[in-house]
Amino acid sequence: MTDHYNVISKQSAQNKRIVMRVDFNVPMQDGKILDDTRIKRVIPGIKTLLECSKQLILVTHLGRPKGNVDNTLSSQPLQEYLSEAVSMPVRFIAHIEDSSQLLEAVDSHDKICLLENCRFYAGEEQNDQNLARAYASLADIYVNDAFSCSHRSHASIQAITGFLPSYAGPVLAVELTALSDALESPKRPVAAFVGGAKISTKLSVLENLISKVDKLLLAGAMANTFLAARQVPVAASLYEPDLIPTAKTILELAQQQGCKIILPVDGVVSTKLEKGGRFHTRLNGALEDNEMILDIGPASVALFKEHIKDCKTLLWNGPAGAFEIAPYDEASKSLGAFIGMRTRNGQLISVAGGGDTVAAVNLAGVADELTYVSLAGGAFLEWIEGKSLPGIEALHS
């Protein structure tokens, strides 16, 4: 995939004005950043570009102001953080539609500028050509370093590429390579481990995965619908009875395509999802009527580990259980630790992604051990659904 687009390099950035789309959409409260993981990833790339470029102008969105100015969602509070991170002053540009401010920025000697939340402008989400032209007027080249926004056809992601030579940013390039190593040209055998709450939200994910992977390990509440499709009673568990026929079709399709589907064989069950509640481990079929499966059980964890051991590559999306509440986080932690260990030992290439999955990976303490942890949420899911992402397509030369 990497040969289809240009990755920004020191040479291509040399002495250029660069407008760069980043994703600084971090959780904030009263102007304070609560979690800077996303920003931290792009800082090294920003520093490198600052060394060789003439000027770097950063564009981000923050929250969902839907085309209106909402001061609680201003990107200005990021100015100080950024300035400290790159050890130089950062100019904040409040009104990109105000040409005098824009010109001031372009003419200034500030090496680095930060634009106001791009979603304050209705044109951003409309992929508006005029707004894209305004962004483009600031620079000589465009860099997209926001994989997490690249499933959107927005002005700062897609339309802008019509006006400037466009490059993949350093973090986006690494992410695309990691994802491609996991699914497009993986070392086989390759498995996907998919958990989470509902099949309905991940139907296209499952359909695409069975055409690509050798094994699909299913956990979480979504496995319950598959168990039901195989006539295993799931009692009061979260499952989707309407989707039993769909689950059956997926099981058949998988068989036709040579993808082995592995379902849990036991579960950790309770009558209530609450902290400190009574729980039991039950084999499939041994549930009381009022019990629900809240995590996969130890026999399933052992079974999944055996399957993972056979694989050289693993893609992980979705926690194995209702991991927000102990002890239903056990399987996610144990499998996470196992995946981390195999990766550390060079036995496995592992890529994880998804909002809750990242939280589970952090809970297991293996974020630094996996080959790649995607923070891209929606874009990651669309990518594992096999969809093409407009922001990435637009970079193709």
User: Which is nearest to 269 in space by CA: 299, 290, 300?
Assistant: 290
What would the two tokens of residue 228 be?
């039901």
Q: Residue 206 and residue 218: Cα distance in Å, rounded?
A: 10
Helices 37-52 + 77-86 axis angle, to 10:
60
CB 391 within 8 A of CB 157: yes
- Closest contact distance (angstroms) between CB of 295 and ligand ADP is 6
Establish if 355 lies at the interface with Mg ion (CB under 5 A).
yes
User: For the purposes of burial, counting CB atoms within 10 Å of the CB of 99, is it exposed (0-12), middle (13-18) or buried (19 or more)?
Assistant: exposed
CB 270 within 8 A of CB 248: no
- Closest contact distance (angstroms) between CB of 237 and ligand ADP is 6
Is the peptide bond between 27 and the residue preceding it cis, with omega within 30 degrees of 0?
Answer: no
CB 69 within 8 A of CB 124: no
3-state secondary structure of 112: strand
If the CB atoms of residues 291 and 356 are measured against ligand ADP, the closer one turns out to be 356
Select the span of 113-121, 161-169, 181-189, 350-358 touching Mg ion (CB under 5 A): 350-358
- Closest contact distance (angstroms) between CB of 390 and ligand ADP is 21
Establish if 356 lies at the interface with ligand ADP (CB under 6 A).
yes
If the CB atoms of residues 64 and 188 are measured against Mg ion, the closer one turns out to be 64
What would the two tokens of residue 135 be?
């962004």
The partner in contact with residue 145, picked from Mg ion, ligand ADP, none with C-beta cut-offs of 5 to 8 angstroms by kind, is: none
Establish if 63 lies at the interface with Mg ion (CB under 5 A).
no
Region for residue 81 given its phi and psi (left: phi exceeds 0; alpha: psi -120 to 50; beta: otherwise): alpha
Residue among 221, 308, 311, 370 that touches ligand ADP (CB under 6 A): 221
Select the span of 95-103, 115-123, 171-179, 319-327 touching ligand ADP (CB under 6 A): 319-327
Instruction: Measure CA 352 to chain center.
Output: 8
Establish if 297 lies at the interface with ligand ADP (CB under 6 A).
no
Establish if 356 lies at the interface with Mg ion (CB under 5 A).
yes
Site for ligand ADP in 357-396 (CB under 6 A): 357
The partner in contact with residue 324, picked from Mg ion, ligand ADP, none with C-beta cut-offs of 5 to 8 angstroms by kind, is: ligand ADP
Binding mask 95-134 for Mg ion (x = CB under 5 A): ----------------------------------------
If the CB atoms of residues 13 and 331 are measured against ligand ADP, the closer one turns out to be 331
If the CB atoms of residues 159 and 352 are measured against ligand ADP, the closer one turns out to be 352
Structural Rg of the chain based on CA atoms:
23
If the CB atoms of residues 169 and 264 are measured against ligand ADP, the closer one turns out to be 264
Q: Residue 319 and residue 342: Cα distance in Å, rounded?
A: 19
> Phi then psi for 67, rounded to 5 degrees?
80, 5
User: Which positions touch Mg ion (CB under 5 A)?
Assistant: 355-356
**Binding positions for ligand ADP, rule: CB under 6 A:** 195-197, 220-221, 238, 293-294, 317-319, 321-324, 354-357
